Amino acid sequence: MNARSVVSALLGSGLLVGCFALLAGPALGGTLPGVEMQLVATAADQLVHLTNSGVAGDDRMFIVRKRGIVQILDGGSIIATPFLDIDALVVNPSGGGDERGLLSIAFHPDYDSNGFFYVEYINNSSDTVIARYQVSGDPNVANAGSALIILGIDQPAGNHNGGQLHFGPDGYLYAAMGDGGGGCDSAGSGCNAQKTDSLLGSLLRIDVDGDDFPGDPNLNYAVPGDNPFVGNAAFEPEIWAYGLRNPWRFSFDRATGDLWLGDVGQSGGSRREEINVQAAGVGGQNYGWPVAEGSQCNPGTCALTNCPLPIPNCASLTFPFYEYTGGGTCAVTGGFVYRGSAIPGLVGRYIFSDYCSGDIIALDPGDAGDDPVIEDLGFELTSFGEDIDGELYAAVGDDIYMLVGDGVPTATPTDTAMPTETPVPASCPATPAGGCRTAEKGILKIKNDVDSSKDLFLWKWIKGAATTQTELGADPVAGSTSYAICLYDESSGAPSLSMEMQVHRAGDTCDGKPCFKALGGGPPDGKGWKYKDPDRGSQGVERMILKAGAAGKAKIVIKGKGSSLPLPVPFSGSMMLEQDTDVIVQLVSSDGGACFETTLSTPATKNEPAQFNDKL
Bridge partners of residue 529, in order along the sequence: 518, 546
Q: Which of 24-38, 175-189, 406-420, 421-435 has the highest mean pLDDT?
A: 175-189
- Tell me what pLDDT residue 38 has: 86
The per-residue pLDDT for 453 is: 81
Per-residue pLDDT at 418 exceeds 50: no
d(CA 55, CA 57): 6
The answer on pLDDT for 567 being more than 60 is yes
Condensed to tens digits (0 to 9), the pLDDT of residues 344-366 reads 999 999 999 998 888 899 999 99
Q: How confident is the model at residue 11 (pLDDT cuts 50, 70, 90)?
A: very low
Query: What is the DSSP secondary structure assignment for residue 112, as one 8-state letter?
Result: H
**Quick one: average pLDDT of 10-34?**
40
Sequence ranges of the domains in the chain? 17-405, 441-615
Q: How confident is the model at residue 149 (pLDDT cuts 50, 70, 90)?
A: very high
What is the predicted pLDDT for the residue at 577?
A: 61
Average of per-residue pLDDT across 112-131: 96
pLDDT, residue 99, reads 86
Q: Give the model confidence (pLDDT) of 450-482 as tens digits.
A: 788 888 888 989 888 998 998 998 888 888 888
Q: If you average pLDDT over residues 123-140, what whole number do you get?
A: 96
| pLDDT tens column, 151-165 | 999 999 888 989 999
Could you report the per-residue pLDDT of 584-605, keeping only the tens digit for each? Answer: 999 999 988 899 999 987 665 5
> Percentage of residues in the chain with pLDDT exceeding 70?
85
Strands 441-447 and 611-615, how do they pair? antiparallel
From 154, 159, 155, select the one nearest 182 (Cα to Cα). 159
**Cα torsion 538, 35, 19, 275: sign:** positive
* For residue 367, pLDDT beyond 60: yes
pTM: 0.79
Query: % helix / strand / coil in the chain, to the nearest 5?
Result: 5, 40, 55
- pLDDT tens per residue, range 267-322: 877 899 999 999 999 999 999 999 999 999 988 889 898 999 999 999 999 999 99
Binning pLDDT at 50, 70 and 90, where does residue 569 land? Answer: low
d(CA 571, CA 296): 35
Q: How far apart are CA 530 and CA 519, in angstroms?
A: 6
Q: What is the pLDDT of residue 422?
A: 60
318-324-327 Cα angle (round to 5): 150
Tell me if residue 17 falls in helix, strand or coil: helix
State residue 276's pLDDT score: 97
Task: Tell which residue, 83, 94, 165, has the closest CA to residue 126.
Answer: 94
Lowest mean pLDDT among 86-100, 102-116, 400-414: 400-414
| Model confidence at 405: pLDDT above 70 | yes
Q: In what order do the strands lie in the sheet with 273-278?
A: 247-252, 259-263, 273-278, 322-324
- What per-residue confidence (pLDDT) applies to 178? 95
Whether residue 324 has pLDDT greater than 80: yes
Question: Which pLDDT band, with edges at 50, 70 and 90, does 4 fall under?
Answer: very low
Architecture of domain 17-405: 6 Propeller (2.120)
Output the average pLDDT for the chain.
85
Quick: pLDDT tens for 376-401: 776 679 999 999 999 999 998 778 99
Structure confidence at residue 397 (pLDDT): 78
